[in-house]
Amino acid sequence: MNDMLSSDKMVEATRLTRTGRLTEATALLLRMLLAEPPPDMTGSTADDSGSGGRGAPSIGATNSEETDRPPSSPVGNGRAASRPLASAATSTQPHMLRRLRDLLRIGRLGSRLGLQGLVQPVPAPTPDIVPEGGKFIEARYSNAAGRRAYKLYIPSGYRGQACPLVVMLHGCTQSPDDFAAGTRMNLIAEEQTCLVVYPAQPTAANAAKCWNWFRPSDQRRGQGEPSLIAGITRQVMRQYSIDPQRVYIGGLSAGAAAAAVMGATYPDLYAAIGVHSGLACGAAKDLPSAFAAMRQGDLPASAEFADISTVQERGPAVPTIVFHGDRDNTVHPRNGNQVIAQKSTANLQKHVQHGRVPGGRAYTRTIHTDPSGRAVLEHWEIHGAGHAWSGGSPAGSYTDPRGPNAAREMLRFFLEHSNSTAAS
């Protein structure tokens, strides 16, 4: 297997990703990886994520999807490869190579292998998507970086008064409808009279509909996908009465990594961010480093990313809430720690709470409060959970109904914060 991933081919794949030629890079990796015999699919079982066999979406390091078969060596067991993926060709890391092979192979061939749950059909409208009296409309936004469709939830209580706005970024293979159904965010926003916008990543931008969080061009303010997501946010703010001090953004998996990028690049636009099963801004700069970050959860030294102008936030941290399952086999749980570690915790008091959902999962909640007692950072470590939205509905994909309600807690955290620097 190590011979298959020859160093010259890995170098070429890295070069292609760095120049934005993702399709060619993926094709090259596929040619190398598909030379291996197909993985044994017999005896495949759902992981302990409560997702009913739907599996976990890939974070989006490639134009591929995640398999719902957990790897033989779980990521969440605390073991990590000692070197980044870029050096895999010259080191013995069979577990990482197996994982890389499966990410690419099964994402493309899963339907032919009989795997279910990788790309679920969009469910019919239910109260989880559109509560009674609310509206869920589709619109589009375009700028020099491209064009994106989005869905906007307008609660029944909206009468033109200034309301909060929540931006929700879906994970790989998902759609706005699917993500809305799984998170129940519209239902919770209906209770609080919040508008919710769901930007849609098309297959033209990424074959698995992943946000390209790992590309330098998509980690900069005013460029690439950050400019599109910020543009959608501002378009909704222009067309509806939105309180500019109460605009928030959250996401799952690749969407969570993109939300972290948005918090770092647009701290003047978003009052708080939510990162569910994602990675810190600047965790990767190309395809190999993305796989390494997903597998190991080690944030590189910022010196390695000198070409990225906004790897880490400067000044006070944008209030952030993090959710991560400690048995996440797709994105190492250490990545959740890195999101918090990237923030400034000076003058913050740390509090640790332990709890359990009745009949469900236990969790550890770590809160960092400012001198006034307000929570500025929260980290929910969900014990036994995999790569799925905690407390979500089985009406959507990649959810864990047994966990604490991430959507409710995320919106609660959001509404505790306002952005005094936002333009009125």
Task: Assess whether pLDDT exceeds 70 at residue 6.
Answer: no
- pLDDT digit string (tens) for 128-174? 799 999 999 999 999 999 999 999 999 999 999 999 999 999 999 99
Over residues 320-325, mean pLDDT: 98
Of all residues in the chain, the percent with pLDDT exceeding 90 is: 61
Determine how many CB atoms are found less than 10 A away from the CB of residue 209: 24
Helix H or strand E encompassing 263: helix 254-265
Strand 320-325 with 362-369, pairing: unpaired
Q: What is the pLDDT of residue 282?
A: 93
pTM: 0.74
- pLDDT digit string (tens) for 371-406? 999 999 999 999 999 999 999 999 999 999 999 999
- pLDDT digit string (tens) for 203-249? 999 999 999 999 999 999 999 999 999 999 999 999 999 999 999 99
Q: What is the pLDDT of residue 317?
A: 75
Res. 28 pLDDT band, cuts 50 70 90: low
Give alpha helix (H) positions in 129-239: 176-183, 185-192, 224-239
Res. 349 pLDDT band, cuts 50 70 90: very high
Q: How far apart are CA 162 and CA 241, in angstroms?
A: 5
220 secondary structure, DSSP code = S
Task: Assess whether pLDDT exceeds 50 at residue 273.
Answer: yes
Q: Could you tell me the two tokens for 302?
A: 């910022």
Query: Could you tell me how far CA 258 lies from the centroid of its own chain?
Result: 6
Q: How far apart are CA 26 and CA 60, in angstroms?
A: 12
Residues 282, 287, 293: CA angle, nearest 5 degrees? 50
Q: What is the pLDDT of residue 73?
A: 25
* Residue appearing with tokens 């197996």: 98
Which is higher by pLDDT, 332 or 119? 332
Res. 52 pLDDT band, cuts 50 70 90: very low
Q: What is the pLDDT of residue 102?
A: 43
Over residues 178-202, mean pLDDT: 97
Whether the CB-CB separation of 116 and 97 falls below 8 Å is answered with no
Q: What is the pLDDT of residue 354?
A: 98
* Lowest-confidence segment of 6-20, 80-94, 175-189 by average pLDDT: 80-94
Residue 58 vs residues 102, 212, 297: alpha-carbon distances, Å: 11, 12, 15
**What b-and-e string marks burial along 258-291, b requiring 16 or more CB atoms within 10 Å of the CB?**
bbbbbbbbbbebbbbbbbbbbbbbbbbbbbbbbb
Res. 67 pLDDT band, cuts 50 70 90: very low
Relative orientation angle of helices 334-341 and 287-296, to the nearest 10 degrees: 100
Over residues 301-317, mean pLDDT: 47
Which is higher by pLDDT, 179 or 85? 179
Q: What is the pLDDT of residue 180?
A: 97
Q: Domains (ranges, CATH) in the chain?
A: 1-424 (3.40.50.1820)
Over residues 1-21, mean pLDDT: 55
Whether the CB-CB separation of 241 and 252 falls below 8 Å is answered with no
Q: How far apart are CA 26 and CA 37, in angstroms?
A: 18
Local structure of 296: helix, strand or coil: helix
